[in-house]
Amino acid sequence: MELAQASRHGALAREDVWAVRTSPAAEAAIRLIDLVAAVALLMLLAPLLLLVAALIKVDSSGSALYRQRRLGRHMRPFSVAKFRTMREGADTGVHRAHVEELIAASENGGEPMAKLEEDDRVTRVGAVLRRTSLDELPQLWNVLRGEMSLVGPRPPIQYEVDRYPEEAFRRFAVRPGVTGLWQVRGRSLLSFGEMVALDAEYVERRSLSLNLLILVLTVPTVIHGRGAA
């Protein structure tokens, strides 16, 4: 833990760790597309969102929505919204141990970032939502609020960041996204190290055209469920 904290402080001390090359005009265009698309999708998908919420309530007790504290651009904390896929009050320690193991394994080449197999915390409806990525749809609200973008690195949990190697902090240079380069290149089929490398590549190449390409590629990725397990 001390090594991770030292690496963290060293990364944050670098002047270029959060620098971006995207032009102000491109950033404005990206934000405009985020707003228009989020509003349009929330209106278009409203019946589906209500249906999913109802199915979650019927399948298990508890709220249909799940909120969790994540870290966004410049490591600012915010509350991310997702459809609940696990039983109410499920132990998060299991996930924490799994994530820490994946990050530690990246030092030796890494292993795929697959979710826990046979996780009895996940509900029947939750398993379907995860396979289809429908559990991510409430994050469109975070996009409207400016906490997230349609495209960007995924927003991590604090205990993940506590284990980050120095190079992983490059991910915080931009808003986290609902989808991203990592998701369309393999998602959980890739290792933690590969995810970090792709997120860093995205930050360096970030542009309006790249964002649009990733959004287009997200559609077949979701349909085929590649890397969703």
What are the pLDDT digits (tens) for 6-18?
445 455 545 577 7
Rounded CA separation 170/91 (Å): 30
- pTM, two decimals, is 0.85
Q: What tokens does 126 get?
A: 């939750």
Cβ pair 20, 206 in contact under 8 A: yes
Q: What is the pLDDT of residue 12?
A: 52
Sorted by where each begins, the domain ranges of the chain are 2-13+28-224
In three-state form (DSSP H/G/I as H, E/B as E, the rest C), the secondary structure along the chain is CHHHHHHHHHHHHCCCCCCCCCCHHHHHHHHHHHHHHHHHHHHHCHHHHHHHHHHHHHHCCCCCEEEEEEECHHHCEEEEEEECCECCCCCCHHHHHHHHHHHHHHHHCCCECCCCCCCCCECHHHHHHHHHCHHHCCHHHHHHCCCCEEECCCCCCHHHHCCCCHHHHHHHHCCCEEECHHHHCCHHHCEHHHHHHHHHHHHHHCCHHHHHHHHHHHHHHHHHCCCCC
What are the pLDDT digits (tens) for 177-215?
999 999 898 777 788 888 889 999 999 999 999 999 999
Q: What is the pLDDT of residue 13?
A: 45
Spans of the chain, pLDDT less than 50: 1-7, 9, 13, 228-229
